[in-house]
Amino acid sequence: MKSIKQAILDKQIDLLFSYSGTVVASGIAVGCFAWIYFSFVTDTPWLMLWGVSLIGVNLARLYLLRSFKRINKRQAILSIWLRRHLVLTFFSGLIWGLLSLTYDPNWATSHQVMLVMLLTGLAAFSITAYAAVLEVYVVFLIPLLLPLELDLFARGEIFTSVLGMLLLLFAIGMLFVARRFYTQYIESIHLSFEHQFLQKELLNGTQNLESMEHALKNAEQQFDNVLETSLDGYWEWDLQKNDLYLSPRWKAQLGYKDHELKSELDTWKNLLHPDDRNVILEKLDNYLIHPRGHWEAEFRLLNKSGGYRGILARATPTLDKQGKLIRLTGVHIDITERVKAENKIKKLAYYDRLTKLPNRILFNDRISHAISQSKHTGLKLCILFLDLDRFKNINDSFGHPAGDHVLKMIAERLKKVVREDDTLARLGGDEFAVLVENVHHSHHAALMAGKIKSSFEKSFVVGGHDFYISGSIGISVYPNDGGDAASLLKNADAAMYKAKNIDRGGFQFYTEELSEKALRHYTIESGLRQALSKQQFSVLYQPKIDLSSGAIKGAEALVRWIHPQFGEIPPEQFIPIAEETGQIRGIGEWVLLQACKTAQDWQSRGLDIGRMAVNLSGVQLQSEDFLETVKSILLKTGLPTDLLELEVTENILMRDSEKSINSLVELQSMGINIAIDDFGTGYSSLAQLATLPVDKLKIDRSFVTNICQDEQSAEISRTIIALGRTLSKVVIAEGIEYSDQQDFLRQEGCDEGQGFLFSKPMTGQQFVEFTEHNGQQARLTTLQS
């Protein structure tokens, strides 16, 4: 669609072409007259050429005007035709202007007047046609008068100069006149367009009015039908009169007939759910003060049967000229089923399926909200992280259905313990957590932990079985132990592990030191997974010495781990973690293989150093394929079975005595020596010891360290040595660092010893050098001196 500016220009061009025909035809006639007239006045040879050129240009202009009439002016680009008109008009004015070259001041006055009259007459006559587009008149006038103007001033005579000045004033006057005509043309075109527009608007307005009246009648009929059939309830509130209209469908949503509910604002207010009333009324009051956009709210309304329906209300405001709210028109949409579906989804997303307690996601959200509240109130909040002790045994022994039943029973007991304002959650597996809010002192968390502990005193009965369960609890406190949900949970978890290690069934508070230990624990656990493949482990060997003769009676293989971050990590730190994660099986198998290889290598080199002792983890001993693993390694390395000694702790034997003893019996039957490590720290009885397949008792280093300072440690050591002698067991003491300890043990009849007094743990090559440079006789002399 053309713009207004372009439409006006097109109209100007159309007028230009319409008026130009008369000017062009007249120009041809006047040109012929001038040609004939001046042929008698002057004998200039090019006058013939001038006449032909003038007629030729004007014929071309007539052709252009005729062609313009045949075009489709709505589709054509009229600015192109305007440029064509400008070019031909310029040449027409130029040719007329060149006629002044024939001017001669010596002519008779009548001839001079004739020339001036012809040119000025053409300038005046063409104004009405060319002023429709002012540029066209300008390009005609300038070449028409300029040659004569220049000639008159160039002659320098008084008469010609005066005549030139008059001609210049005439030209300026013509331009002003043309400007007036141009302005009138433009105003006329604008008036014409406005007239057309008003006629069109009037016609459209009449048609629209008829259409609107028809549509209004249809809309009224449709609106009545909608009110009768719509599932949504319609309402309208006239705030000026304070009248509220409630449609029959609005009332039917709540189970009422039209006459059973009054259309009053109090009706709606009284039906609001008590928990929603204050919030919704406050929201409505705020909207009435600042009515911006649509009003929308969700709430519950009491239905006739006594239940509540979920409602989504939407309303459109009507404002007066001053912007004051005068009416609200809206609908009530029943969203009860949608709310039920959303609540069901929310239940699945935020609640534990088994116990129906909040899950970890919702618990984290509750903690974050509680932290925000705590910042305002200044009160503390506590996180209790509960992990059930040995719960896995129930699932393994009685199946997961029994375990699930116990978890539900635990959840019910915990619900009775926690306060109504507290949040109890199941984080997953056998982990529960409690959020205790608005407490002044952290000892409130200790009281809660004590209640939880007491709730586990009574057994849980499932399928005729009594399950006695305890739980270890870790406690973190905001803001001391963390500023966000993740930190508080992590630190409570760390405190729980501390509780498990110190006293299962008890509770511990988080400390910063514990956090560092937990991080180290995690780093060690993660590093263990790749330590073997990255060859970070090594095996060192510590000699065992006959305390009577000083001869080397054997060696103990000791694993070492060089961690890329922590450096050398003592076995007492990473072995328990490896046992906990099950990685001890791979590590233990690797150590056993290296020790057997080394022992066999020493044998092949003619070194008689006795048995190679390797520590055995309880996890290894209880694995189903352990015996086959030992046999495979012995077969692979070629080490005789009587040169291998396996050390197990007393606690391992007591943990699963029957299975462990059966494995040791078979190992002993193969010719492998069995030693009890850390003897005296466990709970085995004399009767049990007599039946165990054990060849050697090893006095724990804790007794040896204090053997010369503490009478109790000395007495325990004497008892173990005497017990070993009675049962025909070899007794060895570990951790000997001083000669007085060695002297005491030798005098009491201890068979063997090992410790820093003799040698620190060494590499295999260092052990060979130690053996070669410390012959038995030389060693005996050293020990006796």
What residues have CB less than 8 Å from 342, skipping those under 6 apart?
Answer: none
Q: Tell me the angle at which helices 47-70 and 4-41 cross, rounded to the nearest 10 degrees.
A: 150
Q: With beta carbons less than 8 A apart as the criterion, state whether 643 and 612 touch.
A: yes
Q: Is the pLDDT of residue 118 over 90?
A: no
Give the Cα separation of 755 and 732 in Å (integer). 11
In the chain, the N- to C-terminal Cα span, in Å, equals: 121
pLDDT on residue 784: 45
Q: Into which CATH architecture does domain 544-555+583-784 fall?
A: Alpha-Beta Barrel (3.20)
- For the chain, what is the mean pLDDT? 83
Question: 126 — phi, psi (to 5°)?
Answer: -80, -5
Top pLDDT among 371 and 152 is at 371
Residue 166 corresponds to which amino acid? Answer: L
CATH superfamily of 230-341: PAS domain (3.30.450.20)
Whole-angstrom distance, CA of residue 196 vs CA of residue 686: 124
In the block, which residue shows the tokens 């809206």?
Answer: 330
Q: What percent of the chain has pLDDT over 90?
A: 26
Determine the pLDDT at residue 189: 72
Burial readout 452-481 (b: 16 or more C-beta within 10 A, e: otherwise) = bbeebeeebebeeeebebbbbbbbbbbeeb
Q: Is the pLDDT of residue 545 over 70?
A: yes
**Residues with Cβ within 8 Å of residue 44, at least 6 apart in sequence:** 101, 102
Least confident of 235-244, 448-457, 497-506, 558-567: 497-506
Tell me: pLDDT of 218 over 70.
no
pLDDT at 485: 92
Q: What is the pLDDT of residues 128-187, one digit of tens each?
A: 777 778 888 888 888 888 888 887 788 777 877 887 788 888 888 888 887 887 777 777
Whether 221 has a pLDDT exceeding 60, the answer reads: no
Lowest mean pLDDT among 78-82, 157-161, 231-235, 395-399: 231-235
Residue 225 has a pLDDT of: 52
Q: Convert the pLDDT of each residue in 386-401 to its tens digit.
A: 999 888 888 878 888 8
Question: What is the average pLDDT across 497-509?
Answer: 81
CB atoms within 10 A of CB 399: 11
Phi/psi for 218 (5° steps) reads -65, -40
Assess if CATH 3.40.30.10 describes domain 352-510. Answer: no
Instruction: Give pLDDT tens digits for 559-610.
Output: 999 988 888 988 988 888 888 778 899 999 999 999 999 999 999 988 888 9
Q: For the stretch 726-736, what's the b/e string if a residue is b when 16 or more beta carbons lie within 10 angstroms of its beta carbon?
A: eeebbbbbbbb
What was the pLDDT predicted at 414? 92
Q: How many helices (H) and strands (E) does the chain have?
A: 29, 21
Whether the CB-CB separation of 56 and 91 falls below 8 Å is answered with: no
Please state, in angstroms and as integers, the Cα–Cα distance from residue 754 to each residue in 14, 220, 243, following that order.
Answer: 123, 107, 101
CA–CA dist 667, 602 (Å, integer): 23
Q: Where are the domains of the chain?
A: 4-198, 230-341, 352-510, 544-555+583-784
Within 8 A by CB and 6+ apart from 116, the residues are 148, 163, 167
Do domains 230-341 and 352-510 share one topology? The answer is: no
* Residue 130, helix vs strand vs coil: helix
pLDDT digit string (tens) for 648-695? 987 777 665 677 788 888 999 999 999 988 776 655 555 566 677 889
d(CA 256, CA 739): 102
